[in-house]
Amino acid sequence: MRTFTTFLALAAGACAQSSAYTDDVTGITFQGYTDSTTGFKYGMAVPTTPATDFIGQMIVPSNGTGYGGVSLTGEMVGSLLIVAWPNSDSVMASLFETSGYTSPQVYSNSSISLNPIANGTFVNSTHMAYTFLCTGCITGNSLSFSASTSSIVIGWAMSAKTVTNPTSASAATFVYHEQGYGDFGLTLSAAESASYPTWAGMATAASNTTTSSNSTCSSTSSNTTATISNSTYDYIVAGAGPAGIIVAERLAETGKSVLLLEQGAESTYATGGRSTVSWNDTITQYDVPAMDYYLTSAPDTSEYCTDTANMAGCILGGGTMVNAMMFVRPQAADFDDKWPTGWKWSDVSASAEKLYERNPGTTLSSMDDQRYDQQVFSTLQKFFGSAMGFTQVDAIESPNAKTAVYSYPPWDAQNGLRAGPVKSYLPLANALFNFKLSLYTKMIRAIRSNSTVTGVEVESVSTGARQIINLNAGGSVILAGGAMASPRLLYNSGIGPTDQITTVQNGCQGVTLPDESEWINLPVGQNLRDHPIFTLKFNATSITDTMLATEFTSPNQTDIDLFAQGSGPLAQSGQRFNFWTSLNSTNGTRFFQGTCSSQTDGIVNIKLYLTHGLTSTGVLGITSNGATEFTTDPWMNTDADRIAVTTMIDSIFSAARNSSILTPADSTATGASIVAANSYVQGDHFVGTTIMGETNDGNSVVDTNTKIWGMDNLFVVDASIHPDLPTGNTQAIVMVVAEHAAAKIVALGSSNSTGTTTTTGAVAPYANSTSTVGSAVPSGTVAVAGDDDDDDCY
């Protein structure tokens, strides 16, 4: 389901075709497309013998905000992206490379440039137009189309959301496309014109367009005005995602003072969130299970981070508020294969049971014990049962059954609503006098004195003001930003590869690093792993009445009334069928997960994940603007992974071609062709960037107590410490690990306890924070915790 997990949400194939039009202003004849719903228009012209250049034109309905963008392949990974946006009365534009559901990275290549055609580039009261010569943009590789290709696919997207740093083409960030997106097919020969040289001659070099690296600073912050809070804590946990909430609650149970920091806002209605749905003003879009596939196009998309390399939830609950609610309990092998001593299944199973007691997950989320919209399940039950030979299980009750099995989807839902630690742990913490939650508060760095953390520096999201919050004697900090964000906190604290810390040192964020002699060289950002997902489309004549997107976003009164009772299709997530299986090879066993749904009658989408056992890895770095970035992509970069995915796709296609139940939508597709085309999307289930190990041998970042090597009281508890990917979505396993880590940190705190300390004054760093009250605080530890299959930002 590419449309819900990618930056541009571009479909795999063109769903509309282009036609010719002549621009009245420039006189250029384009082959292009106009979206009938939004009015977005894009056109292209090429020479009679296409080579490396083309002329493009975007016309975007705009009232002076937002952006328009086109992708030159229609793909979300590694595609050249052209984005334009209004900046006052001028138009800014830049080249980017798509990488995932996040603000993309500026594309740097001196042979590729954008040059505007002035009389076709303007901003008025209703529209923005950007007409340009794209030099070197027909690359013929994965970034763009080939000049010899007869039919190409162009993706497009538009948004009314204000661009961050709109005055800088190199530093601007933008995410989401709530106003529209799609793609269209274009026959390249139809865009050819003998007048092309004349038209291209109208282009001029642009001063507001960049092809440079994202190393340029848009602004420089300073922390010299940071104030000192008069409140201190035993534990400071940075990140109120699932791991952060669980760790903070368990630490607070000990009676020691705990401060939980969260960069984002309230989420559920019960926590004070007010991003309500149009049909019910007493619940938010995060409460409704059926909305989980449509959050990226909802009226409010402020829950997503803009400073991470990929999709992450900057909101109370982190990834558990923005994911698709899959709650795949880990199998024993998920721990036994790669986790170190003390973290095998026999060690963590008791922690798992503690989690499941509070947050069990379910395969039946509607409170009337009915399942709705079940044609997909009925169809795939027949296919996987008869054609594939799979067995039905309950994924919640049988977590170790992960080969040749299928199940109703396991969801993190309770009482007909989205569940997770915001519902199952946070209320328990809020009931404790010694617990404090501070929202809209971004952690910048841990303040170090050699190997000891003495406090943290934070920044108010609303005002930009910085503050230092100190630890009590014997206290600790726990990072929980997730695999996309915790590395940033470590780089900013002088921990990680020297080149990344140097980027911070020379960067724009005004971060005060420890003396270089105190930098700790650890492989932060290495070992990055994620699930690649391949979407396979099948025709299924048995599916005649599937629920459409509008039935989730604008439900009928019957479904609204059912939801009011905790029941009906709105109380379900978007998946309708799940399966798991594995392949054995000479270099190990690889597991696969499938999540299946339909939003169109007669069509089934199977999202095939390569999961536990994959060998592809990547690297996460940091930019001078303080955002994390992929310096090496972690997907499908080993032959073993490519062979395994090819084999699995072919096995499903073969079964379908020998069955009357499903028919591949593309009769020519094979596993080899799909893998060769890199037709995957990111799972956004990142792990490994602060990996755990038993010894400080240069291959790990934290020890088996989750403490940073070389530090006395700095911990990480989130997906980044996981040495391997699990067999399914990471939400459940992150929570299990958080329970186990909390017990270890509590044990260390007890052995190092030095008594109690009393604090006075304001408890929260900023006036817009929320919390329970508490002033008496004993000594303890400061922790940083993480989230589930999406990251939190801190």
Report, as residue numbers or ranges, the catalytic residues.
685
C-alpha to C-alpha distance for 313 and 490, rounded to whole angstroms = 19
C-alpha torsion sign, points 377, 658, 579, 304: negative
Q: Is 4 helix (H, G, I), strand (E, B) or coil?
A: helix
C-alpha to C-alpha distance for 708 and 692, rounded to whole angstroms = 9
For the chain, how far is it from start to end, CA to CA, in angstroms? 28
Could you give the C-alpha distances from 277 to 56, 281, 286, 645, 696, in angstroms and in order? 38, 6, 9, 39, 50
HEC string of 560-612? Answer: HHHHHCCCCHHHCCCCCEEEEEEEEECCEEEEEEEEEECCCCCEEEEEEEECC
Tally Cβ neighbours within 10 Å of residue 685: 30
C-alpha to C-alpha distance for 117 and 119, rounded to whole angstroms = 6
Pairing of strands 258-261, 276-277: unpaired
Amino acid at the residue 47: P
Q: Mind giving me the DSSP string for 265-326?
A: B--SGGGT---EETTEEEEETTT-GGGGGSGGGSS--TTB-SSSSS-BB-BTTGGGGTS--B
19: buried, middle or exposed (CB in 10 Å: 19+, 13-18, 0-12)? middle
Q: Are 94 and 114 in contact (CB under 8 A)?
A: yes
Amino acid at the residue 685: H
Phi, psi of 771 (to 5 degrees): -170, 170
- Those residues with Cβ within 8 angstroms of residue 520's Cβ, 6 or more apart along the chain or in another chain: 494, 495, 496, 708, 709, 710, 711
Task: State the alpha helices, DSSP H only, in 89-150.
Answer: none
* CA proximity to 570, closest of 592, 590, 584, 554: 554
Q: How many CA atoms lie within 13 A of 476 on its CB side?
A: 33
* CA proximity to 174, closest of 98, 237, 115: 98
Going by the DSSP 8-state scheme, the letter that residue 515 receives in this structure is P
Residue with tokens 């025709």: 539
- Those residues with Cβ within 8 angstroms of residue 181's Cβ, 6 or more apart along the chain or in another chain: 3, 8, 9, 10, 155, 156, 157, 158
C-alpha to C-alpha distance for 456 and 33, rounded to whole angstroms = 52
